Amino acid sequence: MWFAVNLLFESLHPDHPENEFLWEERIILVRAETEEEARQEGELIGKAEEHEYIAANGDLVRWTFRQLQSACTIETLDHGAELFSRFLSKQEVESLLSPFED
């Protein structure tokens, strides 16, 4: 079976914690026999995706896997198949539609 697994990552700035405001939500495709197995695979992938680098301003930036939010079964993998959906509040939509300030 296929699962859409929702992972959350946090951007950490050890030298400037005041810059810790950016998160990434990533939805990945996982093949597993059960939801529990999909969650385990998602956790492994999330931890393997952690990384750090030096930003253009010289600061260390560390992307850390924080949690697996959900694992949803995908019934079929055809053209136009729904991989993920969720209900959002008005506040969540406004946040999603607001551009980042430079």
Tell whether the model's pLDDT for residue 102 goes beyond 70: no
pLDDT tens digits along 47-67 = 999 999 998 888 899 999 999
Token pair listed for 17: 């914690």
Residue-level pLDDT at 83: 80
Among residues 30, 33, 97, the alpha carbon closest in space to that of 70 is found at: 30
Residue-level pLDDT at 29: 95
Helix residue ranges, H only, the chain: 35-48, 90-97
Classify residue 77 by burial, with Cβ atoms within 10 Å: 0-12, 13-18, 19+. Answer: exposed
Residue 2 CA to residue 66 CA, distance in Å, equals 23
Give CA torsion, residues 91, 28, 26, 4, to 10 deg: 20
Neighbours of 9 (CB within 10 A): 19
Residue 11 CA to residue 17 CA, distance in Å, equals 10
pLDDT tens digits along 82-99 = 887 888 899 989 888 888
Residue-level pLDDT at 77: 86
Residues in the chain: 102
Residue-level pLDDT at 51: 97
pLDDT tens digits along 2-42 = 999 999 999 998 877 776 678 899 999 999 999 999 999 99
